[in-house]
Amino acid sequence: MSADRENSGNEAEVRGGKSAVATSPGRLVELYGKMVLVRAFEDACQRAFRQGKIGGYLHVYTGQEAVATGFLEAFRKGDRVITGYRDHAHALLLGCDPGEVMAELFGKRTGLVKGKGGSMHLFDVERGFMGGYGIVGGHIPLGVGIAYALRYEGTDGICQLYLGDGAINNGAFHEAANLAGLWGRDGMCPCFFIVENNQYGMGTSVERATAMTDLAAKFNSYAIGNEKVDGMDLEAVIECAERVAEQVRETGRPYAVEAVTYRIAPHGAADFFEKYRTKEEVEKWRARDPIGILEKKLLERDALDEEKIEEIKDEARQRVSEAVKYADESEEPPMEELYTDVYAGEDEYMGTR
């Protein structure tokens, strides 16, 4: 698709932008710092991949930071979060230690899941993070099931289920969405679907992948309420997130939001040539970099100045540098770890629990 896809042709349909948001300037500065940290972390990941320090594959979140940052503002203790393979930001924003996340990417024993998951399979149950998943669409039925379980157990928790535009044509999505709508009739499926529409499923644009490009409207088939939001505008995302999360929490009914965003970075670390999109298209979207948009707003409101911006960026770079050092210096997992965490209970090889 040409550079004319700057706003995916859906600008008039996207909610947000002009909405009044009650988020304080101080909190927005904190969230700006979190987004800067995520960006610095992802930049370091790309360098480490090229240096051969990260095995497997790597997908970074560059350009999409406002989506997870905004929606996770509505996260409460007892909630659950599940996403696909572009999962570093979600883990960091939920409070996972950058050193442990980086060590996981490096395959070290000090990693978040002992070096066994890598980039696509981060996991932290204590913080409500039920995974990164490498199989496209494979986590969607799990997220719907988690939402059902939360209500079945009598809690007021909800499940934030993130999926990409590329996963929405998967059969698992349609089966899970149908069950979510069905269970939701009885208030038994507090599932908050968040479609991160970054315009491409790997190298295939939305327009080439589906005949009906209004991804939010696909949920109509399953009696699930839905809307769009500008995924590049943090304030718009926060307004949407808080309003919808409260609705899902109160009703136990699922709801879906299509966050229109853009992946500024390549699909993955080995996506060098990006022949499926033009440089002009990428540059137009760079002009709507979510970090840049928020930075400009904070400067205009005198919530930040240039000196404070550099201080925040320096702090983020330092934290990421320490995370890389920690990962570099950590030990490899012992061979015995091949046999642990495979079965529940007694292990047939090691004979221990």
> Residue 15 — left, alpha, or beta (φ > 0 → left; ψ -120 to 50 → alpha)?
beta
Give me the pLDDT at residue 5, please: 47
- Indicate the pLDDT class of residue 269, thresholds 50, 70 and 90: confident
* Beta carbons within 8 Å of 94's beta carbon, 6+ residues apart: 72, 75, 81, 124, 127, 128, 129
Give the per-residue pLDDT at 252: 98
| CA nearest to 268, candidates 118, 58, 121, 105 | 58
Q: pLDDT tens, 170-214?
A: 999 999 999 999 999 999 999 999 999 999 999 999 999 999 999
| Residue keyed to tokens 């100045």 | 305
What is the pLDDT, as a whole number, of residue 15? 57
Q: How many alpha carbons lie under 13 Å from residue 347 in its C-beta half-sphere?
A: 12
Compute the distance between CA of residue 191 and CA of residue 145 in angstroms, rounded to an integer.
9
Choose among 223, 218, 240, 142: nearest CA to 186.
Answer: 223
For 233-249, what is the mean pLDDT? Answer: 98
pLDDT of residue 17: 47
Superfamily for domain range 25-331 = Thiamin diphosphate (ThDP)-binding fold, Pyr/PP domains (3.40.50.970)
State the pLDDT at residue 340: 85
C-alpha R_g of the chain: 20
pTM of the shown model: 0.91
Length of the chain: 353
Dump pLDDT digits (tens) for 157-170.
Answer: 999 999 999 999 99
- b/e 10-31 (16+ beta carbons within 10 angstroms → b): beeebbbeeeebebeeeebbeb
Percent above pLDDT 70 for the chain: 91
- Predicted pLDDT at 342: 78
Within a 10 A sphere around the Cβ of 116, how many other Cβ atoms? 18
Three-point CA angle 351, 337, 131, nearest 5°: 115
Please give the pLDDT value at position 58: 94
Q: Over the stretch 94-119, which tens digit does the pLDDT of each residue have?
A: 999 999 999 999 999 999 999 999 99
Distance CA 44, CA 230 (A): 27
What is the pLDDT of the chain when averaged over all its residues?
92
Lowest mean per-residue pLDDT among 83-87, 232-236, 269-273: 269-273
Please tell me the predicted confidence (pLDDT) of residue 338. Answer: 85
Would you state the torsion angle of the CA atoms of residues 258, 82, 240, 39, taken in this order, to the nearest 10 degrees?
A: -90
Least Cα distance to 340 among 87, 110, 7, 116 occurs for 116
Residues 6+ apart with CB under 8 A from 16: 229, 230, 233, 235, 236, 237, 239, 240
